[in-house]
Amino acid sequence: MKSLKLAVAGIFVALAALVAALVSPAFAQEPTPRWEASLMGGVQGLMENDSALPDDFVNIPIAASLGYRLSALFALEGELAWLIPVENSVTVEPGVSQDLKSPDVLTYQANVRAQLPVGEPALSPYVTAGLGAMTFLSATESDNFPRLDSSETVFAINFGHGTNVPLTESLSLRADFREFVAFPQDDAVGLSDGTEADPIWMPRGIFGLTYRF
């Protein structure tokens, strides 16, 4: 766990260094418009770990975000997402598989985004990182795994990259690829083994539209 936290800290430091290296007067002009809203969907995994998940799950995320462009280079963004469970064939023990689905998951994250506008209208590749929380909703049906008698909210981070491809002055296609990491408490029922909880890694790829206003 300690080495993972150091790795995460290193990612944030590297991102900050990258942002600092890219800052120049050429990117100091104010963007117009400043606000942007995105609606996206795609696929997201919950990766196997030793304390909660015996196998990988693949689910469907729907994400809505609202961003504020501080400059042509920087933006702040808040995101709310719902991870919709899909039934998966899960290996629960060697040689034994069952059709199971994970709990619904709500995510709320606040991010800093560093983008590099290219061309006119500007194609905008970006890198992003942030933190927030995830709520694993109660799941008590026979095909839920893990089964949760009550909802569990845990600290989570995310980091990744993406791009906006302009269609008009105000509308663009957006592709976003991130890694989410949730950190359950060591005694979280269903998300730990009772004494220890491994981080839950969740790679995500989503596509959709962004509207600037």
Q: Helix, strand, or coil here: 203?
A: strand
Considering only residues 27 and 30, tell me which one the structure prediction assigns the higher pLDDT.
30
- The answer to whether residue 184 is domain-embedded is yes
CA 44 to chain centre: 9
- The answer to whether residue 22 is domain-embedded is no
- The answer to whether residue 24 is domain-embedded is no
Would residue 167 be called left, alpha or beta, if left means φ above 0 and alpha means ψ between -120 and 50 degrees? Answer: alpha
d(CA 18, CA 141): 46
Domain that holds residue 116: 33-212
- The answer to whether residue 19 is domain-embedded is no
What's the pLDDT tens digit per position in 111-157? 999 999 887 767 899 999 999 999 999 999 999 999 999 999 999 99
For Cα atoms 52, 91, 182, give the angle at the middle one, nearest 5 degrees: 25
Please compute, for residue 203, the number of CA atoms within 13 A of its CA located in the half-sphere on the CB side: 4
Q: Which pLDDT score is estimated for 33?
A: 84
Q: Which amino acid appears at position 181 of this protein? A: V
Mean pLDDT for 5-33 is: 52
CATH number of the CATH domain containing 85:
2.40.160.20
